[in-house]
Structure formats: C-alpha cells, structure tokens
A and B are shown apart, each in its own frame.
Chain A
C-alpha cells in the first residue's frame, strides 16, 4: 500500500500549472487527494509527477454570477456544504453532501476533484450532469467551457484534454418562484459508493404546473445520466404520480445499464426507476411547500 515514487511540485499560479501539465504527459493534478491517494496507494495510478493545486487562491471560493453559481475547482467540499450561497441558489448540490464520504474526507476533498475523478456513482458528478452545469477548463492556449452532457465520457474518463486544468464549475440558477430538490441513494453502508443514486430539481409557477424539471441517475453505467426525455415530458404537467411513473419508465427503457458483483443490471434498472420517481415526487412536494 505504498505509491510508486513520483516528483511533487506546487505551482503558484494557474498559468504555471498549465505549463507544467503541458510539458509532462505523465503528470497528474492533485487537489484534496481523497480519491487519487487511495489509487496511488493501490498503484492503480502511477503518475511520474503530482502537481498540487490545492493552495492556488484563484481556484478556491464560491461566487454569485447572476444566472449561475460559480464554484472554484479546488473549493473544499466541507466549505461548499456550509456555504450560504450554495444553500440558497444551488439547493440540489447542498442536498448531496451528507452522502459524500465522511466529514473527515469532505474537509480535504474538493468539488472539482470529484468531477475530474468522474466516478460513475459519485454524487457531485450526478448533480453537475442533472443540472447540465458548465465546466471550465484552462489550457496553456486558453479557456474552454464544456457542458456536463459532453464532459463525462466513461468511468473516470472526462473531456479534459491532455494538459488541461479544471478551474471552475458554473451551476445554473433557476428563476422559478417555487423550487424543490430531492436526492435518493442506495448503497451497502452510509457514505459508501452508491449502487444507484437519483437527483431531481423541479420548478413551479404560482399554480400547480411544473415549469422546469431536471432528473438524473448515477451508478447505472459509464457516467451519470440526465433523463432529458422524462424531464421534457413532465414540464407543463402537475407532476402527478402517474405522469412521473410513465415518464421515468420510458426513459429507463432507453438506458444501457451495467451489472457487477454488488448489484445486477436488472436490480439497478428497477432501483434506478424507483429512486428517480421518488426524487421527483419529493422534489414536487418540496416545491409546493415553498412560500409563494
């Protein structure tokens, strides 16, 4: 359980980090290290050099950008969890923290680290995929923005190019007067990897008509998926149980689902559908309870 030898550098700016990344194909970025260090210890990862970005001040912090909440990639999960702006404007993200590791790992683990690691069952990637957040990547040549829908390519594989550094995440802020969110997960033990997890965010106007809807499921396959067709079918309805069941069942039938030792594909399909339905029902309830 000891990593192979590597070099360690702690650059003092984003530019320096990008130059170091561009110069060395065997280098890897380390931030909180709560997923990477176990992989190094088990020698599943063998980078020649670690580039530590955790102390770069420009990568840390949460800010309100009007239509989006912008989170620096190296912002600690624990700092985000208790941030008033996240609670107020990114309630779906605020909801998932209790399921992410333990208090001790959330104090070191970062938001960007979880997204760049891209574990198919991880909670933060699911939120990012469900809300179709924008992910900002810096390279020596400039900055690019990638939508979450095009960001996750496979288990632990993302669209970050060689030499690229994830710098920030932009979560869209919904303008509906009444908003509800919900998250459900099934795992072997609390805080362990999810077999399946589902997230939903819904918005209502002054009546009981749903005017915005997003629902996503993690742990089913290569990466978290957003059920676009289900969301589209539900907008304009009252989000009654029958409409939710029809929309989710139709969306689940289209998905390619994996099985493994922990949970078969059939189990994941069934539980995924149940959790997505529950998430939508609870999100609707929460939205309708919002003071108008």
Chain B
C-alpha cells in the first residue's frame, strides 16, 4: 500500500505492507534509524516519535495508519545540521545518557513536554517520561537535563508560548 507521510517537514511516500510498523517504515524505507527498536510491543518507549506533535510509540502504529500525519523524529529536532536543540544540549551537559538507546525517545518526549508546559515541576517531568524506560537507570540525570533545558529555554531570547 502507498502511504504519504510528512516527516520532519518533508513530504515522503513509501510502498509498504500493511503489517509494517511506522517504526520499521521510518528505519528501513527512509533510513531514519534514530528512532530505536526496543521491545516492539509498546512497553519501552525507545521508538517514541511525535505524531502531529504528540509523543506516541512508533512500534504501535502501522505505517498505513499514519498516512497523512505530520511526523517528527529525532533527526528533525536540531535547528540545523551539526547543531543540537537546547534539550539535546542539556542531555549532553548533565550526562543525561549512558548507552544512549533510550535517548531519542526521551528527547522527543521532553520536547513535547516543554512545548506544552515550559516550567514543569519535577513530578511533571517524571510523569511525562514515565513511559520511557532507561535500562541504564540514569533517570536522575535525565530529569536534571529536562529541568536544565526548561530553565535555559525560559531565559532564551526566543518567542515563548503564552502560559494558559
């Protein structure tokens, strides 16, 4: 079946079997291997992507179901080639990664969190990433990274979304 997806702002098409997950489609048909394959049944969160801006599991959606949606993967987070987003930078600075396998999912989950809630409490950060497993158990630094990114974004000389 033909599917048309908008991936990181670019319109792409693929011809896929209905049983192919969006995750496999992103990795195999489009070479976007930043979305990681973990448990393949929705438990670990390593494959988290943004679907119309919302974090979801790419292993629990078939590519044919995503037809027409806007998709953001980790490859679409940085402002320009060779640069990092504020959140990615904060992960580096606080050592918010060890093996790095969960990192793309964590970064995308954090990206959506800080967009909707620019100054989250520690509890809100923990709740937001509760569906993303870090098998190295480096949660302390991951939470720290998201808090640091929130602080930096609050002081950034960039337009901010008004608080509700």
Contacts and interface: CB of A to CB of B under 8 A. Distances in A.
Given A1-B40, A102-B131, A104-B48, A37 B64 contact: no
A38 B42 contact: yes
B54 interface: yes
Given A4-B19, A50-B18, A103 B62 contact: no
A105 B42 contact: yes
A42 B41 contact: yes
A41 B39 CA distance: 10
A105 B19 contact: no
A211 B65 CA distance: 47
A54 B65 contact: yes
A8 B40 contact: no
B131 A105 contact: yes
Contact of B131 (A4, A5, A101): A101
A249 interface: no
Interface residues of B, number: 25
A23 B55 CA distance: 36
Nearest to B57: A104
A197 B131 CA distance: 21
A75 B64 CA distance: 20
Interface in B57-114: 57, 59-62, 64-65, 109
A95 interface: no
Contacts of B59: 37, 41
B118 interface: no
A68 interface: no
A41 to B, nearest CB: 5
Contacts of B18: 5-8, 50
Interface in A1-46: 1-8, 10, 30, 33-34, 37-38, 40-42
A138 to B, nearest CB: 22
B56 interface: yes
B127 interface: yes
Interface of A: 1-8, 10, 30, 33-34, 37-38, 40-42, 50, 52, 54, 78, 101-105, 107-108, 190-191
Given A33-B60, A40-B19, A191-B131, 13 more contacts: A5-B17, A8-B64, A30-B65, A34-B42, A38-B42, A50-B18, A54-B65, A78-B54, A103-B130, A104-B45, A104-B48, A105-B57, A105-B60
